[in-house]
Amino acid sequence: MGAPESPNAAGSARCPAVFIAAPASGQGKTTVTAALARLLRNQGKVVRVFKTGPDYLDPQILEQASGQPVDQLDLWMAGEAYCRQRLYQATKQADLILVEGAMGLFDGEPSSADLAARFGIPMMVVMDVKGMAQTAAALMTGLAGFRQDVRILGLIANNCGSQRHRELIEQALPDSVPMLACVARNAEMALPERHLGLVQAAEIRDDLETRFDAGARALEAEGLAAYLLAQPPVHFDAAVIDGEESLPSLLLGCMVAVARDAAFSFIYQANLDLLEAMGAELRFFSPLADPAVPVCDALWLPGGYPELHGGQLATNQAMVASIRAFHEAGKPILAECGGLLYCLQSLTDYDGQTHPMLGLLPGDGWMRGRSGCQGMQTADLPEGPVRAHAHHRSIAEGTPEPIAFGRRQRHPAPGEAIFRQRQLTATYLHLFFPNNPAAIARLFGAEAPQPATVAETEECQGCN
């Protein structure tokens, strides 16, 4: 289990921790992270995995591989105090902490490298070396020397073609950036994808087990687990989060129904944790299979893949009638991205089939191939600002006038529209609830004083 608290620093703990990054997306970070988590789990170790940035699909995969909950860490969306506290709490049970990066390690503001530097976590770089040899060494040399505040342990060469291929790369690497592991090309390890990223874990659970085991065997042969467990522990300090002591009273006694099935699954565990910390009772249901919304005071329709299940959603008329009645009763509903599409009058899927939806909000949804929208934004709600992100490949047309637009992180153009009809709040934005708990409590119907605003103008210290 994790190391005990340091006797020299109250509110400080330590645990071996490694950041798994890459020079770009599509290099195999999640495949390697999941395989490493499964290998250590097979050895009886407790591995806590975190994912950088606003990602729903990778955490599902990593949670199944590790057998532990997976949280998102993002300095802008969640804030430094939140990230620091989550890491500190993980040391209480973990033998090793893994943090999977996003995109390339220096991409974004703040980037994966910013997060690693802030908490002193050393990085390993996963690189797809197919089609190159010594060039991989040159890229690693450049990455390792790009910033002085980031420590790179070495390279995990993914999709290596042969022993000779490995030797060519390894011989060209400087001593300061060694080859930590070499993973041969193996279709049995690869994780299946679709238009928004990886296929959801719940859809391919048994298949994933086979892939995890194949990956674990490959990394076990490289001795990577023992190397990581032998790394010097990283010290993590506890953090004080403003307003945390008042959370239990904000939604005390409120029952919140949460849609959760194959069509609606883009849910931050942190959001669920916060609702419960504020006193809410969560009641999960399936718009695909259940006949009605559970008895509740507020309803959350999160994002997901309604476009893959449009026919089944339309066919479940008992559920349609139940949600419409809930809306007519003037009760709070939050609909995010896929939930927004479900609330429109119709949704046309990738096959060109149009399905009637709930009709709570005027407008029609259309899927639009590979093009789409993504990025960090602040949702300026009447209840208060909440940081969020957008990631979709659809468009909503014929919608009413928005009450507001998302405020982009670093661009003056208006972001995603925010609609409100009665007590329905619908938007493409995925809200990160812990960013402004008081605003979220009011959104779900709590009677509370005007919430304190989030300091939007404060720059993240040390973030480029």
User: Are residues 320 and 413 part of one domain?
Assistant: yes
Question: Is residue 462 domain-resident?
Answer: no
Question: Is residue 448 domain-resident?
Answer: no
CA distance 329 to 47: 46
CATH assignment at residue 142: 3.40.50.300
Which of 199, 218, 237 delimits the end of a domain?
237
User: Are residues 178 and 65 part of one domain?
Assistant: yes
User: Are residues 332 and 278 part of one domain?
Assistant: yes
Question: pLDDT, tens digit, for every residue of 214-241?
Answer: 899 999 999 999 999 999 999 999 987 7
Residue 460 has a pLDDT of 34
Length of the chain (residues): 464
One-letter amino acid of 1? M
Which of 237, 268, 296 delimits the end of a domain?
237
Question: Is residue 266 domain-resident?
Answer: yes
Burial 49-66 (b: 16+ CB within 10 A, else e): bbbbbbbbbbbbbbbbbb
CATH assignment at residue 431: 3.40.50.880
Number of domains in the chain: 2
Question: pLDDT, tens digit, for every residue of 190-203?
Answer: 665 544 445 554 55
What share of residues in the chain are helix, strand, coil (percent, to 5)?
Answer: 30, 25, 40
User: Are residues 270 and 405 part of one domain?
Assistant: yes
User: Are residues 137 and 281 part of one domain?
Assistant: no
Question: Is residue 137 domain-resident?
Answer: yes
Residue 243 has a pLDDT of 66
Does the active-site annotation cover 254? no
User: Are residues 283 and 197 part of one domain?
Assistant: no
53-62, 146-155, 305-314: segment of lowest average pLDDT = 53-62
pTM score, whole prediction: 0.86
Given a contact cutoff of 8 angstroms between Cβ atoms, the answer to whether 282 and 288 are in contact is no
User: Are residues 48 and 70 part of one domain?
Assistant: yes
The residue range of the domain holding 58 is 12-237
202-216, 234-248, 287-301: segment of lowest average pLDDT = 202-216
Longest dimension (CA), the chain: 70
Which of 237, 263, 290 delimits the end of a domain?
237
* H or E segment to which residue 169 belongs: helix 163-172
From residue 345, alpha-carbon distances to 9, 320, 351, 357, 399 in Å are 58, 12, 18, 5, 10
Active-site residue (options: 15, 83, 337, 343): 337
One-letter amino acid of 236? F
Instruction: Give the residue from 73, 85, 74, 39 showing the smallest Cα distance to 228.
Output: 39
Question: pLDDT, tens digit, for every residue of 89-130?
Answer: 999 999 999 999 999 999 998 999 999 999 999 999 999 999
Q: What is the mean pLDDT of residues 63-75?
A: 94
CA distance 189 to 209: 10
CA distance 46 to 96: 7
Residue 8 has a pLDDT of 37
DSSP state of 347: E
Mean pLDDT of the chain: 89
User: Are residues 195 and 119 part of one domain?
Assistant: yes
Question: Is residue 113 domain-resident?
Answer: yes
Pairing of strands 354-356, 47-52: unpaired
Question: Is residue 3 domain-resident?
Answer: no
Given a contact cutoff of 8 angstroms between Cβ atoms, the answer to whether 261 and 289 are in contact is yes
Name the percent of the chain lying above pLDDT 90.
78
3-state secondary structure 228-297: HHCCCCEEEECCCCCCHHHHHHCCCCCEEEEECCCCEEECCHHHHHHHHHCCCEEEEECCCCCCCCCCCC
One-letter amino acid of 262? A
User: Are residues 255 and 119 part of one domain?
Assistant: no
Question: Is residue 271 domain-resident?
Answer: yes
Task: List Cβ neighbours of 23 (8 Å cut-off, separation of 6 or more).
Answer: 104, 105, 125, 127, 139, 143
User: Are residues 229 and 184 part of one domain?
Assistant: yes
Given a contact cutoff of 8 angstroms between Cβ atoms, the answer to whether 400 and 363 are in contact is yes
User: Are residues 200 and 51 part of one domain?
Assistant: yes
User: Are residues 251 and 219 part of one domain?
Assistant: no
Say if residue 87's pLDDT is above 60.
yes
Residue 248 has a pLDDT of 82
Question: Is residue 371 domain-resident?
Answer: yes
